[in-house]
Chain A
Amino acid sequence: MKRSLKIISILIGFGLVSFALAVIVPALQTGLPGKPKVAKINIEGVIRSSGSNGLFSSGINSEKVLNKLEKAQEDKEVGAILLRINSPGGGAVASKEIAEKVKLIEKPVLARIVSQGTSGAYWIASAADKIMADPLSLVGSIGVTSSYLEFSGLFEKYGIEYVRLTSGKYKDIGSQYRNLTEREREILMSKIMKVDEVFKEEVKDNRGLNESQIKEINSSKFYLGIEAKGIDLVDVTGARDETEEMLKETLNVSEIKYKEYEESYSLFDLLFSTFKMDGFKAISRIPKFY
């Protein structure tokens, strides 16, 4: 072979190998195709609606969970989703929208309750195909609570007066500067009961609970994982190893590989998240599932 032809052949060969590496390397990094992975999504801390937390604040932002669920749904590498739950619950809307999204996922979804999966967090878990909970974890507390600090007595003591200027008589309902009237209490309670009704109905449908089980959860009490299994609030009790076994069975693989989606924070989140912490949001009229 002529020398120049040989040189060109070698250079083309290197170019082709480079191209092949560009195709192979991503596959090698993420595992070979054909072996589905498990998308692990953490639901840790108080569940909040979008925009209510950032890098330095605690809790979980529902918007970010929704984005991760969408990514996992579209991700061809992902064969199943694991929701790792360790949360006391949170906002009604935030919990509901995550639970609704979980129900729309076409891949198997397993919820693993680590040490706490109560209230809104349980609502989310109930939407999964299977719930696994640690035998000593806290599960349930299916109900709604709304509370706030009321300062009218303190104001009175220091001679501070609350000047009330409203266009409608219930406009400042739930204001922490004055006592609730009986009628206002009734109105707020009716809202709480309405949310409670929707919540319990959803859990009942998601878990296929019978009347006696519904009666049991109506008290909104919490259960240990092992007790929750007895009333079908969870499917299996166990910890990490049992979860992996269940996932292996679901995906028919011998080894579980996880995939996690990183959270992205904007500069705005970075700068202002510290001002949005719990202390600044102690007073709220939005029903919560704590």
Chain B
Amino acid sequence: MVDRELRISIGELDKRASLWDRSLAYVLDVFIMLLVIFLPFHYSFKLINNRTPFFETLWLTPLIIFYFAITEKEFGSSLGKMILNLKIKSLKGELKPWQALLRNLTKFSPVLLLIDTINCFLNKDNQRFSEVWAGTKVIKE
């Protein structure tokens, strides 16, 4: 009984991440991805094929999802979130790989991500739809 009450009280202590922090973290992640994913691809492609990649950039989409999924599973937050002291919290115990993957699936399309984000304005924990489905939320440490 005591344990249960304790857990509830810890849960209440979680500070939800503000939309501003989350947006800034996303911009930082985009910048990191630009440096480690897009630029190496762009310049190597140009060097090898003597032309600028255009539609070929779509092949990088899985890497965007994996960047978020791997860093969040491994460190509890992506690098952008890490800088702003944000953390992913699983509502089902420890964060599992499928949760890390599911909460980032909509990031392959800006339109889907935008639709997904609408829920942040409606949800008390600022959760996106995919975060609700994955059972995760972003908190400020």
**Interface bin, chain B:** 20 to 34
The verdict on B63 contacting chain A, using a C-beta distance below 8 Å, is yes
CB-defined contacts of A15 to chain B, threshold 8 Å: 36-37, 40
A22/B48 in contact, CB under 8 A: yes
A interface footprint on B55-70 (CB within 8 Å = 1, 0 otherwise): 0100110010011001
Contact A25:B75 (CB < 8 A) given known A18-B36, A18-B60, A18-B63: no
> Are B36 and A14 in contact (CB-based, < 8 A)?
yes
Residues 1-38 of chain A: 1 if any B CB is under 8 Å from the residue's CB, otherwise 0?
00100110011101101110111011001000000000
Find out whether the CB atom of A17 lies under 8 angstroms from the CB atom of B63. Answer: yes
A243: min CB distance to chain B, Å: 31
Q: Does B71 touch A at the CB level, under 8 Å?
A: yes
A172 and B36 CA atoms in complex are apart in Å by 72
Contact A29-B40, Cβ < 8 Å, known A3-B75, A10-B70, A14-B67: no
CA A19 – CA B37 in complex, angstroms? 8
Contacts of B36 in A (CB 8 A): 11-12, 14-15, 18
What residues of chain B lie closer than 8 Å to A22, measured between beta carbons?
Answer: 40-42, 44-45, 48-49, 53
Residue of A nearest to B58 (CB): A25
Q: Residue of A at shortest CB range from B82? A: A7
B75 neighbours in A (Cβ, 8 Å): 3, 6-7
Q: What separation, in Å, do the CA atoms of A22 and B36 have in the docked complex?
A: 13
Contact indicator B38/A18 (Cβ below 8 Å): yes
A107 CB to nearest B CB, Å: 23
B14 an interface residue at 8 Å Cβ cutoff? no
Q: How far is the CB of B16 from chain A (nearest CB, A)?
A: 25
Kindly list chain A residues whose C-beta atoms are within 8 Å of the C-beta of B141.
none
Contact (Cβ within 8 A) B59 A21:
yes
Further pairs besides A18-B40, A22-B49, A25-B45: 17, Cβ < 8 Å: A6-B75, A7-B75, A10-B74, A11-B36, A14-B36, A14-B37, A15-B37, A18-B60, A21-B60, A22-B41, A22-B44, A22-B45, A22-B48, A23-B48, A25-B59, A26-B48, A29-B56
